[in-house]
C-alpha cells in the first residue's frame, strides 16, 4: 500500500496546541479585547492601526461566504420540506452559525474555517451520475434531485471522529429511493461515492499532492439501503451552503462524520469493497465501517465522550451514536 506522509492538523507541535479552556473563552476574550482596544484607539485617533485585528465573523459573513461568486442554488421553493417526526435529537439543536463556522472539507482547507476558502467553488450547475452494477444507470441534475425525490426534513445527531458533535435538521431523501430508480443487479454488494475533482476551485486539492484525491467513500449495499441513510440537499430549511457540501452530500448519523461525503458527483454500485479517502491515507486509524463506538479509541482521540459545537457541552458517547434500533442488526456481534 502506498504511504502518504501527511502533516495532519492534529500533529501540531505541543507548543502550538490550544488548551480547551483557552479555546472556550477565546471568542469572549477576543471581543472584550477588541472592545477595550477599540475604545482607547478611538480616543487616541488610532483606529486605522487596528488593521489585522478582526472581530469574530458574523453569522451573515459565515453563511453567505462565497455566494457573491456563485449562481444561487436553485430549488429554494422546495424548502422547507415536511419534517419527519420519527427523528428527534434528544439534545439541544446546534445553531446554524456554529454548524457552518466549524467544519471539515479538506479540498478547501485543513483548518476548520472552511467558509473562508470556498469562494471559487461552483456548485451550480451540478450533476450526479449513478452507474456501475445496475440495470438503469442515470445522471440526475439539480432539478431532478429536488423534484423527483421525496424531500423531507430530519433532525439528526452528527458525530465527528475528532470528538465534536452537532444536532442539525437536514433536508434530503433516502439513498434507498435513488437506488430503487437505478435498480441494482444481484452481484452489487457495495456503493462507492466520489466528490467533485476540480483543483482550480479548491485550494488544498490544488496544492496538496500527498492526499489520495478525490475524496471517496463507500457503504455496503445494506447500509446504503438503511432507513437512516440520507442524501442531503439542504440544512436548516435551506439549500446546503458550500461548506456543508453543496449541492448534495451523504448523511450517516450512526457513523463518524468522515463517512458523510460532501459534494457528490458519482455513485457507483460495485461488487468489491471500494477504496476510501481516509482509509487509504491512514489505514490504521480509519476503517471502512467507522461506526460510532465509544470503546474503540482512535489513535488521536479517545472516543468515550464528545463535545457539542457552540455550547461545548460534553456528553458520553453512545454506541452507533444512539441509532442502534435502526442499524444494530447490520452488525451482529
Ligand atoms: N467530504 C469531502 N468531500 N471532503 C471532506 O474533507 N470531510 C468529512 C465529511 N465529508 C469531508 C467530507 C468530515 S471529516 C466530516 S466531520 C464531515 O464532512 C463534516 O461535515 P460538516 O462540515 O457538514 O459538519
Q: Strand runs (DSSP E) across 162-313, as ranges?
A: 164-174, 190-195, 216-220, 230-235, 238-239, 249-251, 264-270, 305-308
| Residue 257 in contact with ligand 1 by CB distance below 6 A | yes
Are 279 and 211 contacting, i.e. CB atoms less than 8 angstroms apart?
A: no
| Residue 98 in contact with ligand 1 by CB distance below 6 A | no
Do 92 and 52 belong together in one domain?
A: no
Kindly report, residue by residue over 90-102, the tens digit of the pLDDT.
999 999 999 999 9
Do 110 and 255 belong together in one domain?
A: yes
Are 292 and 304 contacting, i.e. CB atoms less than 8 angstroms apart?
A: no
Query: Which residue's CA lies nearest to atom 19 of ligand 1?
Result: 104
For residue 98, report the phi and psi dihedrals to the nearest 5 degrees. -65, -35
Taking 70 as the threshold, does the pLDDT of residue 11 lie above it?
A: no
Query: Which residue's CA lies nearest to atom 3 of ligand 1?
Result: 262
Taking 50 as the threshold, does the pLDDT of residue 24 lie above it?
A: no
Kindly report, residue by residue over 291-326, the tens digit of the pLDDT.
999 999 999 999 999 999 999 999 999 999 999 999
Residue of 111, 121, 245 best suited for mutating to test ligand 1, as the one with most atoms within 8 Å of CB = 245
Rounded (5°) CA angle 295-168-90: 60
Task: Find the range with the poorest average confidence among 37-41, 125-129, 184-188, 227-231.
Answer: 37-41
Q: What is the rounded distance in angstroms from the CA atom of residue 245 to the CA atom of residue 313?
A: 26
Question: pTM to 2 decimals?
Answer: 0.86
Residues of the chain with pLDDT > 90, as a percent, come to: 77
Q: What is the rounded distance in angstroms from the CA atom of residue 142 to the CA atom of residue 179?
A: 17
Query: Which residue's CA lies nearest to atom 24 of ligand 1?
Result: 103
Q: What is the rounded distance in angstroms from the CA atom of residue 154 to the CA atom of residue 167?
A: 10
Name the residue range of residue 7's domain. Answer: 1-56
Do 272 and 323 belong together in one domain?
A: yes
Does residue 68 sit within a domain?
no
Total domain count, the chain: 2
Do 23 and 152 belong together in one domain?
A: no
Rounded (5°) CA angle 135-141-145: 80
Do 101 and 229 belong together in one domain?
A: yes
Tell me the average pLDDT across 22-39.
Answer: 34
Kindly report, residue by residue over 43-67, the tens digit of the pLDDT.
333 333 333 456 788 988 998 888 8
Do 52 and 115 belong together in one domain?
A: no
Are 231 and 248 contacting, i.e. CB atoms less than 8 angstroms apart?
A: yes
| Residue 155 in contact with ligand 1 by CB distance below 6 A | no
| Residue 87 in contact with ligand 1 by CB distance below 6 A | no
Are 74 and 247 contacting, i.e. CB atoms less than 8 angstroms apart?
A: no
Residue of 262, 276, 285, 298 best suited for mutating to test ligand 1, as the one with most atoms within 8 Å of CB = 262
Q: What is the rounded distance in angstroms from the CA atom of residue 19 to the CA atom of residue 63?
A: 28
Q: What is the rounded distance in angstroms from the CA atom of residue 246 to the CA atom of residue 306?
A: 26
Do 51 and 78 belong together in one domain?
A: no
Residues of the chain with pLDDT > 70, as a percent, come to: 84
Do 323 and 177 belong together in one domain?
A: yes
Task: Find the range with the poorest average confidence among 67-76, 162-171, 189-198, 318-327.
Answer: 67-76
User: Which contiguous run of DSSP H or E holds residue 249?
Assistant: strand 249-251
pLDDT, position 64: 87
Question: Parallel, antiparallel, or unpaired for β 305-308 and 164-174?
Answer: parallel
Kindly report, residue by residue over 249-286, the tens digit of the pLDDT.
999 999 999 999 999 999 999 999 999 999 999 999 99
pLDDT, position 331: 98
Rounded (5°) CA angle 110-293-109: 5
User: Which grid coordinates are listed for 42?
Assistant: 478611538
What CATH number is attached to the domain comprising 292? 3.90.420.10
The terminus-to-terminus CA distance of the chain in angstroms comes to: 29
pLDDT, position 32: 36
pLDDT, position 23: 33
Closest CA to 316 of 169, 168, 157, 170: 157
pLDDT, position 54: 61
Does residue 239 sit within a domain?
yes
Do 150 and 222 belong together in one domain?
A: yes
Amino acid at each position: 500500500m502506498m504511504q502518504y506522509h501527511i502533516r495532519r492538523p492534529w500533529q501540531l507541535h505541543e507548543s502550538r496546541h490550544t488548551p480547551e479552556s483557552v479555546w472556550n473563552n477565546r471568542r469572549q476574550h477576543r471581543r472584550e479585547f477588541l472592545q477595550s482596544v477599540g475604545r482607547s484607539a478611538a480616543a487616541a485617533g488610532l483606529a486605522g492601526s487596528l488593521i489585522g485585528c478582526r472581530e469574530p465573523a458574523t453569522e451573515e459573513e459565515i453563511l453567505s461566504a462565497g455566494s457573491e461568486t456563485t449562481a444561487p442554488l436553485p430549488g429554494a421553493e422546495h424548502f422547507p420540506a415536511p419534517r419527519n417526526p420519527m427523528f428527534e435529537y434528544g439534545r439541544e439543536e446546534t445553531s446554524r452559525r456554529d454548524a457552518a463556522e466549524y467544519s471539515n472539507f479538506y479540498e478547501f482547507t485543513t483548518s476548520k474555517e472552511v467558509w473562508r476558502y470556498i469562494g471559487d467553488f461552483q456548485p451550480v450547475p451540478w450533476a450526479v451520475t449513478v452507474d456501475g452494477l445496475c440495470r438503469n444507470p442515470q445522471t440526475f441534475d439539480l432539478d431532478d434531485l429536488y423534484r423527483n425525490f421525496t424531500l423531507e426534513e430530519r433532525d439528526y445527531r452528527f458525530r465527528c471522529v475528532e470528538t465534536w458533535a452537532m444536532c442539525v435538521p437536514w433536508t434530503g431523501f433516502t439513498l434507498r429511493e435513488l437506488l430503487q430508480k437505478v435498480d441494482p443487479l444481484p452481484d452489487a454488494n457495495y456503493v462507492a461515492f466520489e466528490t467533485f475533482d476540480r483543483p482550480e476551485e479548491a485550494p488544498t486539492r490544488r496544492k496538496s499532492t500527498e492526499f489520495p484525491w478525490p475524496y471517496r467513500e463507500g457503504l455496503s449495499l445494506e447500509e446504503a439501503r438503511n432507513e437512516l441513510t440520507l442524501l442531503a440537499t439542504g440544512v436548516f430549511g435551506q439549500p446546503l451552503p458550500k461548506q456543508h457540501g453543496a449541492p448534495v452530500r451523504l448523511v450517516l448519523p450512526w457513523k463518524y462524520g468522515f463517512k458523510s461525503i460532501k459534494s457528490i458527483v458519482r455513485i457507483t454500485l460495485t461488487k468489491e469493497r471500494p477504496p476510501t479517502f481516509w482509509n487509504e491515507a491512514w489505514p490504521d486509524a480509519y476503517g471502512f465501517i467507522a461506526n460510532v463506538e465509544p470503546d474503540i479509541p482512535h489513535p488521536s482521540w479517545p472516543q468515550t465522550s464528545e463535545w457539542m459545537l457552540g455550547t461545548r457541552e460534553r456528553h458520553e458517547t453512545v454506541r452507533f451514536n444512539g441509532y442502534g434500533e435502526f442499524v444494530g442488526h447490520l452488525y451482529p456481534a
